Amino acid sequence: MEKLTGLKKIKTAVFISGTGSNLKNIIKFSKIKKSPISIDLIVSNTSKAKGLSFANQFKIKKKIFNFTNFKNTEKNILLLLKKEKIKFICLAGFMKILSKDFIKKFDGKIINIHPSLLPKYKGLNTHNRAIKNKDKFAGCTVHHVTAKLDSGKIILQKKIKITANDNPTSLAKKILKQEHKLYPASIIKLFS
């Protein structure tokens, strides 16, 4: 990953689909001096994403793309990223799977956070699956995005204990708290 030169931060887009708690956390992190990135664009696949409100709150450009025509949509996203001079993408609860061609255009420059200890539980319902399987540990992973779902090189991972009282909701809450530490730490690791 390229090193930071001077005070210039790397123009970054965050892709979301939902609440955007990771988005909010990354925006806050981006404003501190030691952050290598600035958040310059928020992309969502749905106007229903609550996290879009952070665009107004932090005065960041936002754009909603509906993915009915996948190929065209990705083409339009790429055009926007170019126009906005975006060099790095953070997926944060983005629930669409980007195509191989799209990823190739941003090779090594897209990262994702996933709520499991990858390679365990790729895909959806990670907390349910961990509890159903009576796992002792769960966690979250920040990894590079490649054409194979949730399979890119791991940047950082955080492990937590699953207690007897945990259910999928309590576990998700505990893990989300860790995600908010792990994402900024991973970005720092990547650019240092």
86 token code pair: 């975006």
Between 4 and 176, name the residue whose CB sits nearer to ligand GAR.
Answer: 176
Question: Which window, 38-46, 64-72, 110-118, 162-170, contacts ligand GAR (CB under 6 A)?
Answer: 110-118
Burial 35-71, CB ≥16 within 10 A → b, else e: bbbebbbbbbbeeebebbebbeeeebebbebeeeeee
85 token code pair: 């001079």
Q: Is 19 in the site for ligand GAR (CB under 6 A)?
A: yes
Between 2 and 94, name the residue whose CB sits nearer to ligand GAR.
Answer: 94
Compute the least distance from the CB of residue 16 to ligand GAR, in Å. 6
Of residues 27 through 46, those in contact with ligand GAR by CB under 6 A are none
**Cα distance between the two ends of the chain:** 8
Bond before 119 cis per omega within 30 degrees: yes
Q: Is 22 in the site for ligand GAR (CB under 6 A)?
A: yes
Q: How far is CA 46 from CA 17, 30, 63, 115, in A?
A: 6, 24, 9, 21
**Residues 79 and 29 sit within 8 Å (Cβ to Cβ):** no
Position among 9, 62, 114, 143 found at the interface with ligand GAR (CB under 6 A): 114
Q: Which residue is it, tokens 């126009």?
A: 83
Q: One symbol per residue from 116 to 155: x for binding ligand GAR (CB under 6 A), - otherwise; what is it?
A: ----------------------------------------
Q: With CB under 6 A, what is the number of residues at the site for ligand GAR?
A: 14
Of residues 73 through 102, those in contact with ligand GAR by CB under 6 A are 92-93
- Residues in the site for ligand GAR, rule: CB under 6 A? 16, 18-22, 51, 92-93, 113-115, 176, 179
